[in-house]
Chain A
């Protein structure tokens, strides 16, 4: 299934946010997620289904001013 992750097209097999994160290499990472612009907390990742074309954002701590 094609989704957009951090602005780039991705082809993933998984169909929930939690499984997609594992598939894309984020296992154990400190990240926050949003789907189609809305924040999805950790507690809801397992029950958040993804569908074709969904835009996923995966953000991590970064330098800031």
Chain B
């Protein structure tokens, strides 16, 4: 698994928002073993300079950062945000989010494809947040994306994998493209399910940050992602509708 030439060991990517404290954020990321965290850009006050403290915490973690364009609703906004992020974070990576619907935070895939094309022409390495649509996936790959990030469920909903069939189809259609389930994961079992489908990694934030004990939950997710990956590699059994006895019938006593 390579993300634009970078090969992380951990298949768990974490967001950095909504943690109860900076110390808990740091501890959760360390315990999870994650090597890639998402960050964003927001307005900075010249008086409080809150962003400077946050940036110093993230730098100390010694992880790779994946800046996002969260909250952008247009191609123009997303491109300007990406350009600003590249300068601040000194990376060509950008998690491209162009939101199309405020209730579900569903991405606007028409705008996402257009923005991806422009950003890639400007030298960005784009991680597009997308629906699990096969045709959209093809367009994003044609635009030059080398990683795709379909949603599991709406951001922050914790609903898990809303469309397992769609995610399985996407995996089957693009066996060689790094695929990350991004958003909607609420439980370690959801993350394991994504990995069992053959997804390369999962990206989540709220499920860890909003847990009663985020550090413990980060550890639980790390184990679930590793277990799901191992299960995929081991080759899960086929499902069937009817029971099949696992204990041999031959040799059963006649009583």
Cβ of A26 under 8 Å from chain B: yes
10 smallest CB-CB distances across A and B, nearest first, come from A60-B51, A64-B40, A25-B46, A65-B15, A32-B84, A65-B205, A60-B44, A63-B17, A61-B55, A62-B42
B68 touches A64 (CB 8 A): yes
Cβ of B58 under 8 Å from chain A: yes
What total count of A-B pairs have CB within 8 Å? 114
B residues 35-49 in Cβ contact with A at 8 Å: 38-47, 49
Give the complex CA separation of A38 and B49 in angstroms: 22
A60 touches B55 (CB 8 A): yes
Cβ of A29 under 8 Å from chain B: yes
Contact-residue size bin, chain A (C-beta under 8 Å from the other chain): 20 to 34
B41 touches A59 (CB 8 A): yes
A residues 5-21 in Cβ contact with B at 8 Å: 6-7, 21
Cβ of A52 under 8 Å from chain B: no
Contact-residue size bin, chain B (C-beta under 8 Å from the other chain): 35 or more
* Interchain nearest-CB distance for B251 vs A (Å): 57
B52 touches A30 (CB 8 A): yes
Question: A63 with B16: in contact, given A39-B80, A39-B84 (CB under 8 Å)?
Answer: yes
Question: A62 with B80: in contact, given A24-B46, A29-B44 (CB under 8 Å)?
Answer: no
A57 (CB) vs chain B CBs: closest residue: B43
Using a CB–CB cutoff of 8 Å, the interface residues on chain A facing chain B are 6-7, 21, 24-26, 29-34, 37-39, 41-42, 57-65
Cβ of B67 under 8 Å from chain A: yes
B39 touches A62 (CB 8 A): yes
A63 touches B80 (CB 8 A): no
Q: Mark B47-64, 1 if CB is under 8 A from A, else 0.
A: 101111011001000000
